Structure 1
Amino acid sequence: MRIYAVGDVHGHLDKLAAAHQRIAADRERVGDTGAPVVHIGDLVDRGPDSRGVIEHLIRGQEAGENWVVLKGNHDRMFELFLADPDNHDPGLRAHLHWVSPNLGGAATLASYGVEAAGERTLFDIHETTHAAVPERHAAFLRDLPIYWVADGVVFVHAGIRPGVPLAEQAEDDLLWIRDEFLNDTRDHGALIVHGHTPIEAVTHYGNRVNIDTGAGYGRALSAVVIEDGRAWLLAGEGRLEIPPLR
């Protein structure tokens, strides 16, 4: 089975459109225009057009694109804020909130026309946001799955808790985990394709593939194709194989 995957978008619609173009070109080359495309989560925050990213993905799915869109921790923070401004994501340190400057929520709100988020009360921002965010965007965020499995590959935003069956994984781990997963070299029973932790280049570690190359920090948004446990980066010149480190 051939599966494409896109890393953490973080509000960069232009980079997402370019990634989709590279995928379309590869699909055309191999004659498999219906192969699924998995978006690994963190659709929103930090970049300039989170609203555009969500609308683009909704419209693509409505048009019949075989797109799987997973929930990332930033997407959940946005979802929780829409439900209640007092909501605090358990993955965040106590002194932080989604609209804190280093998390990027203010950029998402600005894409919906909600300005000066850092200068107003949370309840004032929440009221304005409810009026600005279409219900279909809110419903889209609420309904995002937290992982997707196909052909012996698990696609998930942050990773998994090693040694725990997939059906028993905690959502907080799937959206937030880092060191316990990243430092574990064991075979997880499936190849794990994930994002969440930005790195310089897509890397295949043998038991996992990290595809978050820091689009939210001004770097590239990567798209890959997975076939039989092998991974290729989709570049302008075509496929570049990513050999496992071990």
Structure 2
Amino acid sequence: MTYTFIGDIHSAADDLAVLLQAPALQDSRLIFLGDYIDGSGSRSGAIEPAPLDTLAVLDIVIDRVKQHQDIALLGNHDDFWRQTARGDELSFQTWRLNGGAKSWRRLGIHSSNSQVVTVALNRSPLVKYTRFLAELPLTWSTDHLLAVHAGIDWDYPLDRQVRDDLLWIRDPYYFDMDKSWHRNSTGKVIVTGHTPVQAMSHDSYGCIKMQADAQDIPRYLIDAGSRSGAANGGIFALTLSATGAVVAQNWVINQKLFEN
């Protein structure tokens, strides 16, 4: 069996539909790394805005989980929705500052009042998505593979990770004190999203491989900047064998599929 990890989508239903047609994904189990919602329609150098369809993305992911037994992890943006639906004011305000106000309008919520938003997320037609997001796990793993939205804190074992780190951590997961890649101490190949590769490197093909040295077990960052405003922003899919060897890499930008 192969496993295909799919990075941050951010409402790009059109790109996701194209990606799912890639040959490498047809007999592979899919692991979605979170951040299905929010996103920007602007793209550097483009005249027309890119379409955003949050509910279409969620419908696709829900179908994959229910009909194909694929895995969907929770991302930090998805957690905004989840916690706001529970009435958490801090999550509501953080979401508002990170694209929430525009997202609410796309969801049919024409208010920035926290109580109004909370009620709408718990009523039809949005409540089914709220219930789905409420059930999503933070991690997925096998003997050789580990998937998480953001990363881990190296100071703690996997069974003692803090929720906020799994959803939010960046540099302490990526780098050592001298800004070289941190050594992977888990014994597993790790795949994460959360930070667009464009923010880390200007020449990355949608994916960054991180190794402290040739003997270090690799980690992969596959947030390809979907709906981030980057000219080359898209959705990346990394297909690995059961032991972590790279089988295929696919990337969709503006509905065009690239294969490697």
Give me the TM-score of the superposition, normalised by structure 1.
Answer: 0.81
The answer for unaligned runs of 5 or more in structure 2 is 41-51, 177-181, 199-205, 212-217, 252-256
- Write the distance in 1 (CA, Å) between the matches of 2:131 and 2:125: 10
- Write the distance in 2 (CA, Å) between the matches of 1:128 and 1:163: 40
Match of residue 192 from structure 1: 190
Instruction: Give the C-alpha shift of residue 150 in structure 1.
Output: 2.0
Aligned residues with identical type, % of pairs = 28
Q: Which amino acid aligns with 1:110?
A: R
Q: Secondary structure at the match of 2:4?
A: strand
Aligned with residue 100 of structure 2, among 105, 108, 119:
105
Match of residue 4 from structure 1: 4
The answer for unaligned runs of 5 or more in structure 1 is 241-246
Instruction: Give the C-alpha shift of residue 112 in structure 1.
Output: 1.9
Q: Which amino acid aligns with 2:85?
A: L
Contact kept in structure 2, 1:112 and 1:132, CA below 8 Å: no
Residues 182 and 222 (structure 1), Cα distance of their counterparts in 2 relative to 1, 3 Å cut: same
Superposition map of 1:88-237 within 5 A: 88-89=90-91, 97-100=94-97, 103-115=98-110, 117=111, 120-184=112-176, 185-188=182-185, 189-200=187-198, 201-206=206-211, 207-218=218-229, 219-227=233-241, 228-231=243-246, 232-235=248-251, 236=257
- Write the distance in 1 (CA, Å) between the matches of 2:249 and 2:75: 22
Q: Secondary structure at the match of 1:141?
A: helix
Residues 155 and 97 (structure 1), Cα distance of their counterparts in 2 relative to 1, 3 Å cut: same
Contact kept in structure 1, 2:74 and 2:149, CA below 8 Å: yes
1:73 and 2:71 are equivalent in the alignment: no
Q: How many residues are treated as equivalent by the alignment?
A: 220
Instruction: Give the C-alpha shift of residue 66 in structure 1.
Output: 3.2
- Write the distance in 1 (CA, Å) between the matches of 2:132 and 2:15: 21
- Write the distance in 2 (CA, Å) between the matches of 1:168 and 1:61: 27
- Write the distance in 2 (CA, Å) between the matches of 1:82 and 1:16: 26
- Write the distance in 1 (CA, Å) between the matches of 2:163 and 2:18: 30
- Write the distance in 1 (CA, Å) between the matches of 2:16 and 2:70: 13
Residues 27 and 173 (structure 1), Cα distance of their counterparts in 2 relative to 1, 3 Å cut: closer
**Structure 1 segments of 4 or more deviating over 4 A?**
none
- Write the distance in 2 (CA, Å) between the matches of 1:123 and 1:237: 43
Aligned with residue 54 of structure 1, among 58, 61, 73:
58
Cα RMSD for the two superposed structures: 2.1
Instruction: Give the C-alpha shift of residue 145 in structure 1.
Output: 0.5
Q: Secondary structure at the match of 1:97?
A: helix
- Write the distance in 1 (CA, Å) between the matches of 2:236 and 2:184: 25
Contact kept in structure 1, 2:38 and 2:99, CA below 8 Å: yes
Q: Which amino acid aligns with 2:77?
A: H
Give me the TM-score of the superposition, normalised by structure 2.
Answer: 0.77
